């Protein structure tokens, strides 16, 4: 598993986590597919970049 910088975007009343088309292909996913997310594991995996750009 690799660690990548991913942007969060607001879309309407939601926040979107952007992933690459390569990731979709590798996992046999398509836009519009429904997936399940383990928020506890996501919380443990996220490292917020705190330095100012």
pLDDT at 14: 92
13 located within any domain: yes
Domain range for 39 is 8-45
Residue 2 domain flag: no
> Which segments of the chain does DSSP mark as H helices, in order?
21-26, 39-45
Give this prediction's pTM: 0.59
What's the count of helices (H) and strands (E) in the chain, helices before strands? Answer: 2, 2
pLDDT in tens, the chain (53 residues): 677 788 889 999 999 988 889 999 999 999 999 999 898 888 888 877 665 55
Q: Does 3 map to a domain?
A: no
Answer whether residue 1 is part of any domain.
no
Report pLDDT for 28: 97
Q: How many domains does the chain have?
A: 1
d(CA 36, CA 49): 25
């Amino acid at each position: 598993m690799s660690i990548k910088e991913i942007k969060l975007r607001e879309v309407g009343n939601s926040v979107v986590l952007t992933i690459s088309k390569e990731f979709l292909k590798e996992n046999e996913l398509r836009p519009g597919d429904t997936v399940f997310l383990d928020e506890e594991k996501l919380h443990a995996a996220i490292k917020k970049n705190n330095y100012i750009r």
